Chains A and B, each alone.
Chain A
Amino acid sequence: MTALPNDTPKKLGLVIDLDVCVGCHACVVNCKEWNTGGYGAALSDQEPYGETPSGTFLNRIHTFEVLPEANGAGASPMVVHFPKSCLHCADAPCVTVCPTGASYKRAEDGIVLVNEDWCIGCGLCAWACPYGARELDEAEGVMKKCTLCVDRIYNENLEEVDRVPACVRTCPTNARHFGDLADPDSAVSRLVAARGGVDLMPEQGTAPVNKYLPPRRNRAPAGAADETPPAAPRERAAGLTGWLERVVEMIG
């Protein structure tokens, strides 16, 4: 059912530490390795050894450079490696748009999953996700996404220490943490509180469960603000254009 649960007693998710991620892609590889043999269809590759290799991944690492705005002499850009997988949003737009009921959010722990036997591969959920966390598998024609390694975290055949997501288990710098973000006393919640963890694109209203820990202040360029400054307000044009701008704003 694509109606969202009102509230989930548990909010299982990841906390990703941008301060320590070194961009080694180990989590990308282990995620692909575990999930291609686990939950649902395999994660296919197209032309893996050809001219234009491409494939399905549930977790990808981007690398950004931050250019200090107040660029005094000697200011140098800060490089931030940025892992991104599904944020298991509380208000997941990808779930409500799904026409088949294949996409759902589990009432018990908040994990967002796709029932691949029902998915028609329309791709609308990938359009609805602001974060690029869903990829249609070209070989299978069904939507793939991070499962929060649901087949590991509850798996009693694994040793206790392995009952965490593959990406978390493998990260050599401990940049990924797994836990219950609904419980204020959990290790992850305390980490978020201590380090000022944030939501990605809060303006999209998705209420992500996953949190990101920003790089520590000592890495930040001098004069950095506490928050992302708001976008500069647009100046209203004069005359007819200005009037049209007002009309468009009124229509919304």
Chain B
Amino acid sequence: MHPARSIIVFTTLSGAGFGLVALLALGALAGSGSPLLWAALLALALTGVGLLSSTFHLGHPERAWRALTQWRTSWLSREGVLSIATLGLFAVQMAADLFYGMRLVPLGLVTAALATVTVYATAMIYASLKTVPRWHTRLTPACYLGFAAAGGAMLASAFAAGADGRAAGLEWLALGFLLVAWAAKGLWWFRADRIPLGSGDSRPETATRLGRYGRVRLLEPPHSMGNYLTREMVFRTARRHAAALRRAAALLGGGLPVLLLAAGLAAGGWIWPAAASLSFLLGLLAERWLFFAEAEHVVSLYYGEGERARPAGFPARPA
């Protein structure tokens, strides 16, 4: 799939943002005054910028409100409804704490649950697509939820450490979430590598139903140049390039944050978890780029992808 910059930025920022929303709603930083204020503003900014950037790739952004109507069937619609509900409740809860010193615990629990379901809905937009076998797994929501929780905990610990000098609890939490998230992502990559296009149920032979006659191979595409479908869905990445990016994603999004969080646990100070968060978000941008770029869409089978090699010894066609 074509990795659209707006969607990559959206899913990365809003994921971490909703993670932060959930933790703040659960009471991290409750009653701390200005650290809570800044953390809440950052959470709103991350989710808000994310939502805004997701409308950039629309053909008709002015009609975006219509996307809130089909929550009965569409995960994209559910995501929109859930994010607005979550942010509304979150704003109420934070205002109550900041301006009236009220701790609305039940409201916080609901908000945190909604934030979690919002991230789940984002992931399900992709995981529900049968047409993209590498996305169509429960591991996809596991990764999205894990990364959102890890990002949220890291950001929250930076603010908490800014207030108290130390935030051991949150830092341990961030480490735990990071571990779970990267374990899920590792499995996701492991699975993805085992199901290249054309190796599963959908193959050029089933796409054309000509498999009974032999191996199917594209002789001529419909037009001499590309089209919307080939630009949007028949995206190819160089294997070496992808492998290098995976290493960068794991290093920036996993390895480095672990070291920085450990330093934070040892030395204290907000700078460590803040640096960890920054590195994490950069790593996740790479991870998200790959999530799209390495996804293969079955429509590519109609465009000559996923074909088995020409059988050995097959008579060469006249040049």
Contacts and interface: CB of A to CB of B under 8 A. Distances in A.
A binds B: yes
Contacts of B64: 120
Interface stretch (A58-66, A152-160, A164-172, A185-193): A58-66
A231 B207 CA distance: 13
A214 B210 contact: yes
B206 A251 contact: no
Interface stretch (B10-18, B30-38, B74-82): B74-82
Given A2-B73, A215-B213, A247-B187, 12 more contacts: A55-B227, A60-B223, A65-B217, A66-B215, A69-B214, A130-B207, A135-B228, A141-B59, A228-B212, A229-B205, A234-B194, A251-B138
Q: From B63, B204, B297, B314, name the one whose CB has the most chain A CB atoms within 10 angstroms.
A: B63
A78 B213 contact: yes
B241 interface: no
A138 B228 contact: yes
Given A142-B59, A204-B298, A66 B129 contact: no
Contacts, number: 251
Given A121-B58, A198-B209, A231-B203, A84 B302 contact: yes
A112 interface: no
Given A119-B60, A212-B209, A130 B214 contact: no
A84 to B, nearest CB: 7
A100 to B, nearest CB: 4
A37 interface: no
29 contacts: A3-B72, A3-B73, A54-B225, A57-B227, A64-B210, A66-B215, A67-B215, A71-B315, A79-B219, A93-B129, A93-B130, A95-B73, A99-B70, A101-B69, A118-B63, A122-B67, A132-B303, A200-B208, A201-B202, A201-B206, A204-B130, A215-B213, A224-B212, A228-B205, A228-B211, A229-B212, A248-B190, A251-B138, A251-B187
Contact of B58 (A3, A56, A120): A120
For the complex of A and B, list the 7 residue pairs with the smallest distance between their C-beta atoms, beginning with the closest.
A121-B59, A141-B59, A228-B211, A60-B222, A99-B77, A99-B67, A100-B66
A126 B132 contact: no
Interface string B164-182: 0000000000000000000
B199 interface: yes
Given A93-B130, A98-B74, A224-B214, A248 B139 contact: yes
B146 to A, nearest CB: 13
Contacts of A127: 1, 129, 131-132, 232-233, 297
A227 B205 CA distance: 10
A251 B188 CA distance: 10
A150 interface: no
A120 to B, nearest CB: 5
Q: From B130, B138, B219, name the one whose CB has the most chain A CB atoms within 10 angstroms.
A: B219
Contact of B130 (A120, A130, A200): A130
Given A100-B63, A244-B187, A66 B214 contact: yes
A96 B75 CA distance: 9
Contacts of A123: 57, 59, 232
B30 to A, nearest CB: 35
B164 to A, nearest CB: 39
Contact of B220 (A62, A212, A247): A62
A64 B208 contact: yes
Interface string B47-61: 000000000011111
B222 A62 contact: yes
Contacts of A136: 59, 228, 232
A142 B128 CA distance: 23
B208 A142 contact: no
Contacts of B315: 71, 75-76
Interface in A21-64: 28, 52-57, 60-64
Contacts of A119: 59-60, 63
A239 interface: no
B70 to A, nearest CB: 5
A99 B59 contact: no
B239 interface: no
Nearest to B298: A130
B135 to A, nearest CB: 10
Contacts of B142: 251
B41 interface: no
A215 B214 CA distance: 13
B66 A132 contact: no
B310 interface: yes
Interface string B213-251: 111111111110111110011000000000000000000
A14 B204 CA distance: 21
A135 B229 contact: yes
Nearest to A232: B199
B42 interface: no
